[in-house]
């Protein structure tokens, strides 16, 4: 499956989905430092610079087709530490561009990530926009510590699908996440390692070894990023669903 990665940051979404067997078709990221990181690790993948000017027509003209759209749109207006403007705020309001591209491109699956506060500060809007595009959705709040990270980083994950018969794979993902409530991050991380999902793979992928360090940009981009293990598990859920449909 080919992925359009919106609000790409330093590429953690694509890193996880590629581990699940997908291919990144294009990025869209406006931050210059993040764009340099993406260019280092995905030199052959095109990167568009502004979601507001990206269209299905432009992607088609560049020979790009996608099966999955993913992205964590800006959280600053939704986060409890932010302005409180909500999903209609100047930055979090870029969800409208995300929804527009979903309607234009009509992918098979959409993966949306944002802070946990989205559940009370915009989830109804997101689900309503997805429904208006003909998508059903599943969602779950998952902390990074559930996949072995040494921090909480609670995020709301939404997986929308264009077929209405349900998404068995996401139920497997949800059951898998819920099956480890008593484990420490280290214990759960070890269980993932035993299945080939490596938490320690993150560091070398994100570090840059050419030129002087940019600690401020690096810390900011890491702070805005996600742990790739979660989209990897979602990618595997999509693959499991696709496999079930082929078998049927």
Q: How far apart are CA 223 and CA 193, in angstroms?
A: 24
Quick check: is 75 catalytic?
Answer: yes
Q: What is the DSSP string of the chain?
A: -EEEEES-TTSHHHHHHHHTT-EEEEEE---HHHHHHHHHH-TTS-EES-TTT--HHHHHHTT---SEEEE----TTTSTTS---GGGSTTGGGHHHHHHHHHHH--SEEEEEEEGGGGTTTHHHHHHHHHHTT-EEEEEEE-GGGGT-SS---EEEEEEES-TT--HHHHHHHHHHHT-TTS-HHHHHHHHHHTT--GGGHHHHH---SSS--HHHHHHHHHT---THHHHHHHHHHHHHHHHHHH-
Catalytic residue, candidates 34, 47, 70, 75: 75
The residues with which 5 forms a beta bridge, in sequence order, are 27, 70
SS (H, E, C) 49-87: CCCCCCCHHHHHHCCCCCCEEEECCCCCCCCCCCCCCHH
Is residue 129 within 8 A of residue 99, CB to CB? The reply is: yes
Q: Active-site residues: which are they?
A: 75
């Amino acid at each position: 499956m080919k992925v359009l990665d919106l609000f790409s940051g330093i590429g953690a979404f694509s890193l996880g989905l590629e581990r699940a067997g997908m291919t990144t078709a294009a990025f869209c990221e406006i931050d210059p430092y993040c764009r340099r990181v993406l260019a280092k690790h995905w030199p052959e993948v095109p990167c568009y610079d502004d979601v507001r000017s990206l269209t299905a027509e432009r992607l088609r003209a560049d020979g790009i087709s996608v099966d999955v759209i993913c992205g964590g749109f800006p959280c600053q207006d939704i986060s409890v530490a932010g302005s409180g403007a909500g999903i209609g705020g100047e930055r979090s309001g870029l969800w409208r561009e995300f929804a527009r591209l979903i309607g234009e491109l009509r992918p098979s699956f959409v993966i949306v990530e944002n802070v946990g506060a989205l559940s009370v500060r915009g989830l109804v809007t997101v689900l309503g926009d997805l429904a208006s595009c003909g998508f059903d959705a599943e969602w779950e709040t998952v902390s990074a510590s559930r996949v072995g990270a040494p921090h909480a980083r609670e995020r709301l994950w939404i997986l929308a699908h264009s077929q209405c018969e349900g998404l068995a794979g996401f139920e497997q993902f949800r059951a898998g996440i819920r099956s480890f409530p008593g484990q420490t991050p280290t214990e759960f991380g070890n269980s993932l390692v035993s299945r080939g999902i490596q938490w320690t793979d993150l560091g070398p992928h994100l570090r840059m070894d050419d030129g002087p360090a940019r600690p401020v940009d690096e810390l900011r981009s890491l702070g805005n990023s996600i742990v790739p293990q979660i989209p990897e598990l979602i990618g595997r859920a999509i693959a499991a669903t696709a496999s079930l449909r082929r078998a049927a």
